[in-house]
Structure 1
């Protein structure tokens, strides 16, 4: 396992559909769950739990979901915006950090390069990889979350849009350093098995049903890809994310051994599974 080492001072954040707000100084507040794999060549985040460090939860910003679009990303501009959201979500920089913008750009470039390579089919051991994004018009986000609207904005068909949620569908036998699914078995399993990863929603806009919308669309796209058995990893103590996946039709198949979690220096993970042929779409 290659751990991302940086001369800059930042706190790696974990991937979750429910992320607490960024904090400026918490050395013990997070578990480092990111890893760089030789297959992906990028930091991969699968759903895990941020340790509770807050006594209060901010009021959610309600959005007009009639303006929400959830679809498979195609353009490089949109993939860059998705990469920006992932870096923004998974890393919390300290306020006194120097060159934060430069390091943020470096991390975004690294994630963008790896994401485009995976989608282009240039990673050994993977079939098709798809990035699913949830977007809102810039005008609907700029007044309530200006930093989000500027950092994750892209243009499409003469309109300015903002990526507010994203995830990846990976058609493969296994993800590096993660529990391997057992279904389906036999010849062709590498095309019929898939995993969700990089699941995140902008912190300002959580509790608006964006997670449901992303997973619902991901299940539809995965089924079109020929995937019959879809998996997702979630930290054992991440109860909100686990409940969300359960509502989306997932059920527990396996649990990471304690020794493996200790070796990888992260919370233990559960492996959740759903059979797409029998799953129903998730309502928004």
Structure 2
């Protein structure tokens, strides 16, 4: 395979990944009644002309909802059994943050902290009494970030810390 072919394949793969994530985000944002999804996007603020995709430096998703039957704090999306997908509207709402991402070149500039603080404020405005985020126990930079923003560990199992 020629280098030009490999580069073309990588560009196509990257574009495909962008489209899949965009459609997954649209699906999440149009989800069930009783759930409010918001995606916060941090973009470059300079005078350079570029595509929207090339302007994005970070994202974080927020879901605000009531807990599901049997849920004490949120499971990672897709990990709840079908029979427990019944909301408990008599229980306080919570916020659940996912997909915290910052481009490598833009890290250590406060972007993630600012996005998280904005998402936390938005969750509170939407009635969330508590806010959760999952993080892998070995992801020390993320754990330090979440600790810095004010998150506290509520559970740890073999795969993650919340």
Report the TM-score range of the alignment, normalised by the length of the smaller protein: 0.7 to 0.9
**Counterpart selection for 1:250 from 151, 159, 162:** 151
Alpha-carbon distance in 1 for matches of 2:126, 2:105: 32
Higher relative contact order (CA 8 A, sep 6+): 1
- In structure 1, the partner of 2:9 is 99
Q: Counterparts in 2 of 1:30-49, with a 5 A limit?
A: none
Q: What TM-score do the two structures reach when normalised by structure 1? A: 0.45
Superposed CA offset, 1:84-113 (max 9, x none): xxxxxxxxxxx9476222222222112111
Q: Which residue of 1 aligns with 2:38?
A: 130
Task: Give the equivalent residue in structure 1 for 2:58.
Answer: 165
Partner of 2:83: none
CA offset digits 1:33-82 (Å, max 9, x no partner): xxxxxxxxxxxxxxxxxxxxxxxxxxxxxxxxxxxxxxxxxxxxxxxxxx
Match for residue 133 of structure 2 among 219, 232, 235: 232
- What is the CA deviation profile of residues 13-44 of structure 1, one whole-angstrom value per residue up to 9, with x for unaligned ones? xxxxxxxxxxxxxxxxxxxxxxxxxxxxxxxx
* Alignment length (residue pairs): 142
2:26 equivalent among 105, 116, 122: 116
Alpha-carbon distance in structure 1 between the residues aligned to 2:141 and 2:27: 32
TM-score normalised by the chain length of structure 2: 0.75
Q: 1:219 to 1:236 in 2, by over 3 A?
A: same
Structure 2 counterparts to residues 11-90 of structure 1, below 5 A: none
Q: Distance in 1 between matches of 2:34 and 2:21?
A: 17
Unaligned runs of 5+ in 1: 1-94, 143-148, 154-161, 179-185, 259-267, 272-284
1:221 equivalent in alignment to 2:122: yes
Contact 1:234 1:242 in 2 (8 A): yes
Q: Which runs of 4+ in 1 moved over 6 A?
A: none
More off after superposition, 216-225 vs 168-177 = 168-177
State the alpha-carbon separation in 2 of the partners of residues 214 and 101 from structure 1.
28
Q: Which has the larger share of strand?
A: 1
Report the equivalent of 2:161. 270
Shift of 1:118: 2.0
In structure 2, relative to structure 1, the CA distance for the partners of 1:196 and 1:108 (3 Å cut) is same
| Distance of 1:125 and 1:253 partners within structure 2 | 27
Give me the whole-angstrom Cα distance separating, in 2, the residues matched to 1:204 and 1:126: 37
- Is the CA contact (8 Å cut-off) linking 1:169 and 1:218 kept in structure 2? yes
CA RMSD of aligned residues (A): 2.6
Q: What CA distance in whole angstroms lies between the structure 1 residues aligned with 2:51 and 2:89?
A: 46
